Amino acid sequence: MRMQEKVLILDFGSQFTQLIARRIRELNIFSEIFPYNSKNFNVADYKAVILSGSPNSVTGDKVLHPDLSKIKGQKPLLAICYGAQYLAQFFGGKVGNSNSREYGRANLTYVDATCPLFYDVHEGSQVWMSHSDTIIELPKNSKRTASTEDVKNAGFRFIDEDTYGIQFHPEVYHSTDGKKILENFLVRIAKIKQEWTPDAFVEKTVNELQNTIGKDKVVLGLSGGVDSTVAAVLLDKAIGKNLYCIFVNNGLLRKNEFQSVLEQYKHMGLNVKGVDASARFLSALKGIEDPEMKRKAIGKVFIDVFDDEAHRIEDVKWLAQGTIYPDVIESVSVDGGPSATIKSHHNVGGLPDFMKLKIVEPLKMIFKDEVRRVGKTLGIDTNLLERHPFPGPGLGIRILGEVTEEKVKMLQEVDAIFIEGLKNRKLYDKVWQAGAMLLPVNSVGVMGDERTYEKVVALRAVSSTDGMTADWVDLPYAFLQEVSNKIINNVKGVNRVVYDISSKPPATIEWE
């Protein structure tokens, strides 16, 4: 991938910013997200720029001002929602409150057929609106390019420069021609080559790893999941015998997972060592109920274990991690930007000073589906690549409240019945991620002639592309009934099973 063949996305805190990056990646074009006020990028490295939406108003007290001095009029620029309103408000136009909050589906009633942004996009095309302000007057030296029934200035462009504004969100899948509009901007207008492919990523990443690491030794935490596996194979391809993989049993894995994962890698040619540190993790979690505190405790022990194991490897210099882009986005608010932090990830954020290892994260700029495509290019077994994601903190964040060994064993049994059932009914491959949650409540039940007062478990199954958004899966009632009966009849301490039908957003995939 050439340095110039990529797109800069400036984030103003929109919940859809990550979707912009995803949609662009689908076009085989690389994109990066930075906060609107970040100093951590060089505009010259990018061939086009996109301004995101925002919960803020350009007419309010907290206007987010980007530096467009090296962008507008100098590089192709697409401004979406807040970005479009910003260009209108501060370049000679006017933005004001709309008569009502414009949210949801709308249809284009006017499209400027001469505008390259709307090439092959026609009147009647559905778009997605999400704003409470509207563009009353267009900025100077610009012309209208699109309208809906309620929004006259749904699109505009500056005359004699490649600067475009649209009030709707092309990145949201409800905008039926959204991908086409992005393609028009990036390929037809910005002339970006569509070269972002798994093969290109592997070649580029292996070269970067070789140049960065050289002949140093690297220790990698292998979990058995897709991310760490692909990271390991990439590193093995780059540095071979200098990669040392360690699989830690944190006591929060699925039933029998420690041994099965070690067996899984036996014939992959990777140097893997299994370390059973379950007692250390469970001890560190004693008495902790807060989700963030649990994640931090698990992360600390994870680092401590690696520090111990790293000292057993002579001259190791690097710690490799399977961090992927959604982990980074959700943990650090897109490099400290205006987006809200959802949760922390145990493998994001660096290492304490006492641990003298540098971090290498070969997957930190790609999404989950891209990781799978890279894995396929590397020749990794399909069954492993299609394995459901499993959180790094494991069952520790699926047990709400304090984590104990007894609760872990209980949830392991529940989870095993659920996952086995999905596989037996050939539903596993139709689900992106599934698992069970042990709730911190008891419920009254009747078993035989006896009253019970036992635990409630929630089953969760979602469909998704990359984990940034997710919808609950409508599993057959007969299957849910069968699994529920099997769990209650076979797992001592559970007398009630519920099914989670929440989507992300507003919920998250995990409960903690």
Dist CA 274 CA 207 (whole Å): 29
Dist CA 401 CA 346 (whole Å): 18
Structure-derived torsion over alpha carbons of residues 45, 46, 50, 51, reported in degrees to the nearest 10: 10
The answer to whether 415 and 433 are in contact (CB under 8 A) is: no
Which residues make beta-bridge pairs with 470? 504
Token pair 């649209």 is found at 166
Any catalytic annotation for residue 122?
no
Secondary structure element (H or E) that encloses residue 206, with its range: helix 198-213
Any catalytic annotation for residue 510?
no
Dist CA 166 CA 118 (whole Å): 11
Indicate the burial class of 443 (C-beta count within 10 angstroms; 0-12, 13-18, 19 or more): middle
Q: In 53-95, where does DSSP find H-type helix?
A: 82-90
Structure letter (DSSP) for residue 470: B
399 Cβ contact partners less than 8 Å away, ≥ 6 residues apart: 407, 408, 411, 437, 438
Any catalytic annotation for residue 245?
no
Which residues make beta-bridge pairs with 217? 316
Q: How far apart are the first and last CA of the chain?
A: 38
* CA 155 vs CA 130, 144, 168: distances in Å: 14, 6, 8
Indicate the burial class of 474 (C-beta count within 10 angstroms; 0-12, 13-18, 19 or more): exposed
344 Cβ contact partners less than 8 Å away, ≥ 6 residues apart: 292, 295, 296, 299, 331
Structure-derived torsion over alpha carbons of residues 306, 312, 313, 317, reported in degrees to the nearest 10: 50
**Which of 5, 115, 169, 245 is an active site residue?**
169
Three-class SS of 86-149: HHHHHCCCEEEEEEEEEEEEEEEEEECCCCHHHCCCCCCCEEEEEEEEEEEECCCCEEEEEEEC
The answer to whether 325 and 367 are in contact (CB under 8 A) is: yes
**Which of 102, 171, 183, 512 is an active site residue?**
171
Dist CA 306 CA 219 (whole Å): 8
Residue of 358, 310, 352 whose CA lies nearest to 212:
358
Dist CA 206 CA 113 (whole Å): 45
Dist CA 338 CA 52 (whole Å): 12
Q: Which active-site residues does the annotation give?
A: 81, 169, 171
